Amino acid sequence: MMKLRYKILTIVLSGSILMACTSSANKHSADQESYAIIADKSELVPGMSAQVAIDDQAQIDLSQYSLNSDSFEFLDNEADSELGAQIISLNAALDLSFQHSKEYQTQKERLYLEALALTFDRYRYTPTFSAAGSANYQWDAEDQFVTDMQTLTGMEAISTSESIDARTSLGARYLLKGGGAIALNLTNNFTRFLTGDISEFGAGALIGSFTQPLLRDFGTEIETEALMQAERDLLYQLRDFTRFRKSFAVRVASQYYSVMLNRETAKNNYAGLLANNLSLEREQAFQAEGLRTLLQVGRLEQSSLQQDLRWTSSITRYKRSLDNFKLLLGLDADANIVLDDNEMILITETGMQSPDLDLEQAIELALQTRLDLYTELDRVQDSARKIEVAANALKPGLDFSFVASVPDANNGNLGELDFENAVYTAGLDLELPLDSKAERNNYRRSLIDYEVATRDYLLAMDAIKLDVIDIWRRLNEASKSYDINVTSVQINERRVEEAELRAELGLGDIQDTVDSQNDLTAARTELVRSIVDHNIAKLEFWRDVGLLYINDNGQWEEGINEPQ
């Protein structure tokens, strides 16, 4: 019994290993074919990345980044939370997001699945083979009454009959791109009796056929429409993926700068609170000497409370935006990171330089380079092809067929065929379109779909123009906002100086002190915001005119001198 168990276990394990090997081989085959198709079509899409593998995600390793050793007082009770945090630069953030972002991984998988679907559409036009077999063992049940009678009468016992019925079939099929099909099938049926007189009876046949539509479904353009659409769908997905990479890089940079802006806002609010508290201490000292009224000091106390609330809210907003940014990068929620302050210094020193293009040039470039616009134009062509396919479906069905059947030789040799007695059949099958309501409706629908696709293309063209115009306006707005806020900061710094000087001399007005300090804090924050908005708008501008190129690490190159 124990040996039998071991044998069963061995068979089960062997089968499991064989299935695992087969599964692994099929996965490797699917990957190899899909990636080869993607690589081949990637040449048609400018800026397409070669890093599209969906199974090579590395473990997240933040140990390579520098550690933060500073505690920032302006973060209040969150200050110690950033001690020991990894400092992430913008380039590091882009690299992490393109390696570990779940959203980016999903886009790669969509691209892969589109290529995988195409492998089957191509496979349909290659020779396909099939093999099948079956066997049945049949025997007669022994009748007890007959056995007893044979024993009583002394008659010779008749043995029960047994037989094996087996069938095999081998087939091949080749679908032609012109609409026809070639098929070949070899069958063998035989029965072997296991009685005393052993004999074998077998029958087989070789059947070959060729069919070709002559009216409906005739022609390469009609037959291969599904394949053509699958090829183009993959091209569209490649364009969408390339466009996504550009938009994703801009979004990562935008959120990076937005987190930095929230951090700067918290810092400015804290500085404003300290200035208010300092003024409050001075005014309370004047009140103690009877130089200020409770009403006057209360106004400054209220301002300090409001400033404290703004500071606390800005810290919460900053930490929330940092947590959301971690998820965008694909990091765990409990990952401890802090963004690099040098990035804010860098964009501040870079200034507000705008792209060296005028608006008309930008619009013209966008219409020439935007991949999504090319896709919309191609969809118009797709709709036009489908009109031809729908019109063809309205034609009568007229199919030519040729069948050759070679029987078994019946000479006792299993599988031997008699080609001298082969039977050939040729014929035409006609189907008149008497019931074509569905085909009629489909044809009318295809005409409407063409008009819709044409309008969508024109609408997409106008939308691109408006996108560029809107970004252009935002660039100008951010630039003007920067100039205004630079002046505003200077004015309010002078106001604060004067208010402080007058207050120290006992000549100041509390409201002037409150207003000047609050206005200075707001102006400093808006100045940083205008710098951030301008840099984000500039990235979106290069993206929308189609001249933002993203490398495999997610870092960008921009400008009209880059290859198109």
CATH of the domain at 515: 1.20.1600.10
Spatial neighbors of 129 by CB under 8 A, at least 6 apart, are 170, 171, 172, 173
Average predicted confidence (pLDDT) for the chain = 86
Burial 362-378 (b: 16+ CB within 10 A, else e): bbebbeebbbebbbbeb
pLDDT tens-digit profile of 389-437?
999 999 999 999 999 988 877 765 656 777 888 899 999 999 999 999 9
The answer on pLDDT for 5 being more than 80 is: no
Same domain (yes/no): 368, 508: yes
Same domain (yes/no): 277, 408: no
CA dihedral 548, 551, 553, 556 (to 10 degrees): -30
91 inside domain: yes
Same domain (yes/no): 345, 264: yes
Q: Which domain holds residue 517?
A: 56-124+227-387+442-558
The C-alpha angle 209, 210, 216, rounded to 5 degrees, equals 135
Instruction: Kindly indicate the confidence band of residue 245, based on its pLDDT and cuts at 50, 70 and 90.
Output: very high
> Last residue of some domain: 370, 404, 435?
435
Amino acid letter at 368?
Q
Report how many domains make up the chain: 2
> Last residue of some domain: 408, 435, 462?
435
13 inside domain: no
Burial 444-477 (b: 16+ CB within 10 A, else e): eebeebbeebbebbeebbeebbebbeebbebbee
Same domain (yes/no): 474, 533: yes
Q: Are strands 397-407 and 423-431 parallel, antiparallel or unpaired?
A: antiparallel
350 inside domain: yes
147 inside domain: no
Beta bridge partners of 517: none
Amino acid letter at 14?
S
- Residue 81 Cα distances to 71, 311, 335, angstroms: 8, 17, 11
Helix (H) or strand (E) holding 487: helix 437-504
> What is residue 10's predicted lDDT score, i.e. its pLDDT?
54
Distance of CA 447 to the CA centre of its chain: 31
Same domain (yes/no): 215, 239: no
Q: Which residue has the tokens 């908005």?
A: 533
Give the dihedral sign, CA 68/69/75/81: positive
> What is residue 352's predicted lDDT score, i.e. its pLDDT?
81
Of 551, 558, 564, 554, nearest to 535 by C-alpha is 558
Same domain (yes/no): 237, 346: yes
**pTM of the predicted structure, to 2 decimals:** 0.85
Same domain (yes/no): 463, 552: yes
Same domain (yes/no): 431, 446: no
Q: Give, to the nearest 10 degrees, the angle between helix 90-100 and helix 294-329.
A: 50
Of 97, 67, 47, nearest to 328 by C-alpha is 97
Instruction: Kindly indicate the confidence band of residue 94, based on its pLDDT and cuts at 50, 70 and 90.
Output: very high
Same domain (yes/no): 202, 185: yes
Of 42, 62, 43, 150, nearest to 335 by C-alpha is 62
Q: Give me 301's structure tokens.
A: 């106390």
pLDDT tens-digit profile of 430-439?
999 999 999 9
DSSP class of residue 55? S
Phi, then psi, of 430 in degrees rounded to 5:
-115, 130
Above pLDDT 90, what percent of the chain?
60
303 inside domain: yes
pLDDT tens-digit profile of 195-205?
444 445 556 78
> What is residue 142's predicted lDDT score, i.e. its pLDDT?
57
Residues 254-262: what's their mean pLDDT?
96
Same domain (yes/no): 373, 501: yes
Distance CA 548, CA 551 (A): 10
- Residue 243 Cα distances to 92, 394, 451, angstroms: 21, 40, 26
pLDDT tens-digit profile of 349-381?
887 888 888 999 999 999 999 999 999 999 999
> What is residue 59's predicted lDDT score, i.e. its pLDDT?
87
3-state secondary structure of 363: helix
> What is residue 55's predicted lDDT score, i.e. its pLDDT?
86
> What is residue 73's predicted lDDT score, i.e. its pLDDT?
92
Distance CA 267, CA 489 (A): 16
6 inside domain: no
Residues 96-115: what's their mean pLDDT?
95
Q: Give me 233's structure tokens.
A: 């769908």
DSSP class of residue 550? E
93 inside domain: yes
> What is residue 103's predicted lDDT score, i.e. its pLDDT?
94
Same domain (yes/no): 231, 353: yes
Same domain (yes/no): 335, 349: yes
pLDDT tens-digit profile of 477-528?
999 999 999 999 999 889 888 887 877 776 667 777 778 888 889 999 999 9
143 inside domain: no
Amino acid letter at 287?
Q
Burial class (CB in 10 A: 0-12, 13-18, 19+), 247: middle
Distance CA 420, CA 424 (A): 11
